[in-house]
């Protein structure tokens, strides 16, 4: 039976370093990695079984189906499955977000982490992009590294989690990729700027080499500033991220996938900037709509004291000249979500996970 986040002293010492005053205010570009070679591999089936034992008193997980979007120019290679998810920081869920219709028992970490892991294990992503990760060192890195993932974490410089009593450290973005499928070529941790000032929002961008095809692929994960009234701020952050990605991808010569909680509806300027970028990006989940031009009606749905919040904020952007979307995971229906909305005993986050299968375009020299 594998450890479900009972941290070793080594993990606690690494976490303590991340929480030291210097690390919180000025994060290093690289956090000391866990030596996964010292840990035994985990069989995903065994981990899933352990999660299900912990969750046996909860309702079964929601069933969602993939929608086939494959065109005639199908690749002969295995698709690359990418998962995007704001998992809800534990400190914020319990201490700040105030989900008035969600019982506090539904947010217990010992069970909620099993719901998160169950969702990840169900879809078996080759690349996993997460936001609001505040249990990286004691849960996600030790477990996912033993499942064969290479793990990277970049915390926010001034995480709101640190304001919560008995917090587990700062939240941030995390990226995981299967080492059997990819080789890391380059990695960049980016503290986003707005009006030339550094902000509290971050991104990770990694260039990977696909073992099967030999092709390069850049993956980025980000989480932009939240709340109404910060639209121009998000727009500036988006412009900064796009400029960084233009440099990293050599002006779109390297195919790109950007995952994130943008905290922005499709009507916002930052959405238009990504849609009209010279990187030639398209939003994968638009392809689920009948006209291929409309985003889903929601990717987050919750009830707070101020009322019900139903928004489309989460996206998977991709280089439409170089990549094809073979399929996308359908969203939960309103009936599945239920009248108390998210999170719940059924679902661990207030945001839905997005999952897409990608393949490389067969003509890599195709013009933008």
- Which tokens sit at 103? 């019982």
Amino acid 74: pLDDT? 60
For residue 273, the SS3 value is helix
Segment 205-218, tens digit of pLDDT: 999 999 999 999 99
Mean pLDDT calculated for residue range 100-127:
96
Token pair 């489309």: residue: 312
Predicted confidence band of residue 179 (pLDDT cuts 50, 70, 90): very high
Inter-residue contact 311 to 352 (CB < 8 Å): no
Inter-residue contact 219 to 129 (CB < 8 Å): yes
The phi-psi region of residue 77 (left if phi > 0; otherwise alpha if psi is between -120 and 50; otherwise beta) is beta
**Which of these, 92, 123, 325, 114, lies nearest to 226 by C-alpha position?**
92
Structure pTM?
0.89
Mean model confidence pLDDT for the chain: 89
Predicted confidence band of residue 4 (pLDDT cuts 50, 70, 90): very low
Range from 60-64, 99-103, 265-269, 364-368 that averages highest in pLDDT: 265-269
- Lowest-pLDDT range of 35-44, 241-250, 251-260, 314-323: 35-44
Segment 315-353, tens digit of pLDDT: 999 999 999 999 999 999 999 999 999 999 999 999 999
Mean pLDDT calculated for residue range 231-254:
97
Backbone angles phi, psi at 86, to 5 degrees: -85, 110
Amino acid 73: pLDDT? 60
Predicted confidence band of residue 28 (pLDDT cuts 50, 70, 90): very low
Please name the residues in contact with 49: beta carbons below 8 A apart, sequence gap of 6 or more.
none
* Sign of CA pseudo-dihedral 97, 103, 106, 110: positive
Inter-residue contact 332 to 71 (CB < 8 Å): no
For residue 9, the SS3 value is helix
Predicted confidence band of residue 38 (pLDDT cuts 50, 70, 90): low
Please name the residues in contact with 190: beta carbons below 8 A apart, sequence gap of 6 or more.
202, 203, 204, 205, 240, 241, 244
pLDDT at 25 over 70: no
Amino acid 40: pLDDT? 86
Segment 155-173, tens digit of pLDDT: 999 999 999 999 999 999 9
Mean pLDDT calculated for residue range 264-271:
98
Domains of the chain: 80-330+338-363 (3.60.10.10)
Amino acid 96: pLDDT? 83
Edge-first strand listing for the sheet containing 149-155: 66-68, 323-329, 354-360, 80-86, 127-133, 172-178, 149-155
For residue 268, the SS3 value is coil
Amino acid 70: pLDDT? 83
Inter-residue contact 275 to 283 (CB < 8 Å): yes
């Amino acid at each position: 039976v594998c450890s479900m986040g009972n941290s070793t002293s080594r993990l606690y010492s690494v976490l303590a370093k991340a929480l030291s005053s210097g690390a919180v205010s000025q994060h290093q570009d690289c956090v000391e990695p866990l030596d996964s070679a010292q840990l035994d591999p985990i069989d995903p089936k065994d981990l899933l079984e352990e999660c299900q034992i912990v969750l046996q008193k909860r309702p079964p997980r929601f069933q969602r189906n993939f929608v086939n979007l494959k065109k005639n120019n199908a690749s002969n290679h295995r698709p690359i499955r990418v998962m995007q998810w704001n998992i809800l920081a534990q400190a914020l869920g319990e201490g700040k977000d105030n989900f008035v219709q969600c019982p506090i028992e539904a947010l217990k970490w010992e069970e909620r982490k099993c719901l998160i892991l169950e969702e990840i294990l169900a879809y078996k992503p080759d690349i996993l992009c997460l936001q609001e990760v505040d249990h990286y060192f004691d849960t996600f890195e030790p477990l996912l590294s033993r499942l064969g993932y290479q793990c990277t974490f970049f915390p926010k410089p001034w995480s709101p989690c640190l304001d919560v009593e008995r917090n587990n450290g700062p939240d941030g973005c995390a990226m995981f990729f299967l080492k059997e499928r990819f080789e890391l070529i380059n990695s960049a941790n980016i503290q986003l700027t707005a009006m030339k000032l550094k902000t509290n929002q971050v991104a990770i961008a990694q260039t990977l080499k696909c073992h099967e095809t030999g092709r390069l692929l850049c993956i980025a994960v980000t989480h932009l500033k939240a709340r109404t009234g910060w639209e121009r701020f998000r727009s500036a952050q988006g412009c900064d991220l796009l400029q960084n990605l233009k440099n990293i991808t050599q002006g779109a010569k390297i195919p790109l996938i950007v995952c994130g909680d943008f905290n922005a509806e499709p009507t916002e300027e930052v959405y238009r900037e990504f849609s009209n970028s010279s990187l030639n990006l398209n939003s994968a989940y638009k392809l689920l709509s009948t006209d291929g031009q409309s985003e889903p009606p929601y990717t987050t749905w919750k009830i707070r004291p101020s009322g019900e919040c139903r928004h489309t904020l989460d996206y998977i952007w991709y280089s439409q000249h170089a990549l094809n979307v073979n399929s996308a995971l359908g969203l939960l229906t309103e009936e599945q979500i239920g009248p108390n909305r998210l999170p719940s005993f059924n679902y661990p986050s207030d945001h839905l996970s997005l999952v897409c299968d990608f393949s490389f375009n067969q003509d890599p020299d195709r013009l933008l």
